[in-house]
């Protein structure tokens, strides 16, 4: 009985010279590899630093207001409390988009961002501003006479424009991507502006200075905003602001 003839050895399988040594990162999305590329070691620390900083501003402001006869303060009591509450929502709206690694997380992050900004933050800051304006009208006091008041007015107008541009980026079709990049850049600058406004209120306004210890004022309205700003900026990805693409 004859044995079968073994197959002829033809050498190792041919490999394409154009075959990449490493798979493209876009093709790895969904398997965790792209997520590892997008996330950096300092992101978690920055996230928790931002949370702590914004809560320090919120809690301290509310304690100062509530411990100084809030009923006697009238409508003014609702101004710092609502504005700092809005800051918490603004911060969450930004942090929840930093960073997103794949289309699914981007969509979920965008939904959270819209709820935080449109549903929560904007109504809070609009009401807080309205109560302050009404308080001045009821007392016959002049409006926007301080740097805090001027910065606050600019911030509210800017926020409205920011939301309109953001909505436009979603409705602009193919051109929406470049519009969104400008929206994103403007948002980071606006966030800086808002923190400066809070600093001007907490570190320089007569009422806060008169009812807050100096060390507390420095920690809460100077150091905490800086920590918050650095934390948010450190989580940003400047590569996503490439306007040439």
Each of the 245 residues of the chain gets a pLDDT tens digit; together they read 555 555 555 555 444 444 443 334 344 444 444 454 466 788 999 999 999 999 999 999 999 999 999 999 999 999 999 999 999 999 999 999 987 778 898 899 999 999 999 999 999 999 999 999 999 999 999 999 999 999 999 999 999 999 999 999 988 888 888 899 999 999 999 999 999 999 999 999 999 999 999 999 999 999 999 999 999 999 998 777 765 55
Rounded to whole angstroms, what are the CA distances from 4 to 10, 11, 210, 215?
Answer: 18, 21, 101, 92
Range of the domain at 121: 37-236
User: Using an 8 Å Cβ cutoff, are 90 and 146 in contact?
Assistant: no
Q: Which residues contact 243 (CB under 8 A, 6 or more apart)?
A: 178, 181, 182
Residue 26: inside a domain, yes or no? no
CATH code (residue 53): 1.20.120.1770
Residue 206: inside a domain, yes or no? yes
Residue 242: inside a domain, yes or no? no
User: Using an 8 Å Cβ cutoff, are 75 and 131 in contact?
Assistant: yes
Residue 3: inside a domain, yes or no? no
Instruction: Please count the other Cβ atoms lying within 10 Å of the Cβ belonging to residue 54.
Output: 25
């Amino acid at each position: 009985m004859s044995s079968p003839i073994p197959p002829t050895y033809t050498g190792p399988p041919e490999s394409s010279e154009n075959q990449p040594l490493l798979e493209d990162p876009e093709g790895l999305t969904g398997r965790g590899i792209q997520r590892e590329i997008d996330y950096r070691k300092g992101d978690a620390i920055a996230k928790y630093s931002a949370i702590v900083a914004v809560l320090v501003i919120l809690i301290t402001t509310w304690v100062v207001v509530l411990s100084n006869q809030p009923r006697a303060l009238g409508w003014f009591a609702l101004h710092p409390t609502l504005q700092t509450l809005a800051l918490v929502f603004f911060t969450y709206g930004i942090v929840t988009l930093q960073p997103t690694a794949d289309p699914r997380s981007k969509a979920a992050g965008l939904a959270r961002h819209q709820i935080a900004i449109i549903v929560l933050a904007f109504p809070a800051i609009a009401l807080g501003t309205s109560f302050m304006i009404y308080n001045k009208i009821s007392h016959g006091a002049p409006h926007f006479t301080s740097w805090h008041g001027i910065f606050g007015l600019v911030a509210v107008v800017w926020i409205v424009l920011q939301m309109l541009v953001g909505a436009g980026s979603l409705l602009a079709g193919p051109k929406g991507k470049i519009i969104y990049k400008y929206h994103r850049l403007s948002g980071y600058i606006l966030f800086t502006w808002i923190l400066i406004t809070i600093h001007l209120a907490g570190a320089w306004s007569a009422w806060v200075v008169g009812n807050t210890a100096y060390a507390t004022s420095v920690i809460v309205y100077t150091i905490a905003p800086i920590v918050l700003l650095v934390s948010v900026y450190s989580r940003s990805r400047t590569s996503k602001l490439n306007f040439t693409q």
